[in-house]
Amino acid sequence: MSSILPPSNRLWWKESIDKTEWTWIGIAFVWGMIMFVMMIYWHIYGKQNLSNEAYKTTPEMFAAKAEKFIAENTIRTETDLEIPVVKVPPGGDGYLIARLWNWYPILELQEGKEYKIHLSSMDYNHGFSLQPVNINIQVIPGYEHVVKMTPTSTGTFAIVCNEFCGIGHHTMLGRIYVK
């Protein structure tokens, strides 16, 4: 039997495996082991995956923490969107709420300072994609995700929802200002 021709015997699973097939099985196994080791390497040294914290919470508890944070740190309101701009204290915690179909509030950060940004969803799964930086987190209701970040450049950064969350998904945008 060869790996190219069909088996001559209808009970093909009882026939011995050809040398060519063993070769391909070996190649696939070795490649799988290489990729397994590389996943660990990429996580530790590649900086592609964020190591973040996540805690169980309820939408009500997270909303209460976020509203308290917003009330204490609001510096202005974006007139076109009627969304508060909140200055996160350097080295402090910031809170972002994902809900149909916006990110609330707008955060203002300082370049070179480390922050812990807390994310949670009030309703459905949402995606937190910070552009043009490659930060992607799936934000799930009932969990508080904590992302550590240190802005390295100033500007306006867009938050895009990259998990389909309903008919208004295409309008679910947010902002982070870095001064």
Q: Tokens 């937190």, residue?
A: 128
Amino acid at the residue 42: W
Residue 40's pLDDT is 85
> Looking at the structure, do residues 23 and 72 belong to the same domain, yes or no?
no
> Looking at the structure, do residues 40 and 124 belong to the same domain, yes or no?
no
> Looking at the structure, do residues 147 and 174 belong to the same domain, yes or no?
yes
| Domain assignment present for 2 | no
CB-CB contact of 119 with 141 (8 Å): no
Per-residue pLDDT tens for 24-63? Answer: 999 999 999 999 999 888 877 776 556 678 889 999 999 9
Residue 12's pLDDT is 67
- Under the banding of pLDDT at 50, 70 and 90, the label for residue 14 is confident
> Looking at the structure, do residues 57 and 30 belong to the same domain, yes or no?
no
Domain extent, residue 41, equals: 12-46
pLDDT above 70: residue 146: yes
| Domain assignment present for 129 | yes
Q: Tokens 């972002």, residue?
A: 96
Residue 47's pLDDT is 63
> Looking at the structure, do residues 37 and 89 belong to the same domain, yes or no?
no
| Long-range contacts of 154-160, Cβ-Cβ distance < 8 Å, separation of 24 or more | 154/111, 154/178, 154/179, 157/130, 157/131, 157/132, 157/133, 158/130, 158/131, 159/96, 159/103, 159/128, 159/129, 159/130, 159/131, 160/127, 160/129, 160/131
Find all residues with CB under 8 Å of 140, minimum gap 6, and list them.
121, 125
In residues, how long is the chain?
Answer: 179
Per-residue pLDDT tens for 99-111? Answer: 988 898 999 999 9
> Looking at the structure, do residues 35 and 117 belong to the same domain, yes or no?
no
Separation of alpha carbons 52 and 147, rounded Å: 5
What pTM did the predictor assign? 0.72
| Domain assignment present for 1 | no
The residue-averaged pLDDT of 164-168 equals 88
> Looking at the structure, do residues 59 and 34 belong to the same domain, yes or no?
no
> Looking at the structure, do residues 59 and 42 belong to the same domain, yes or no?
no
- Under the banding of pLDDT at 50, 70 and 90, the label for residue 13 is confident
What is the total count of domains within the chain? 2
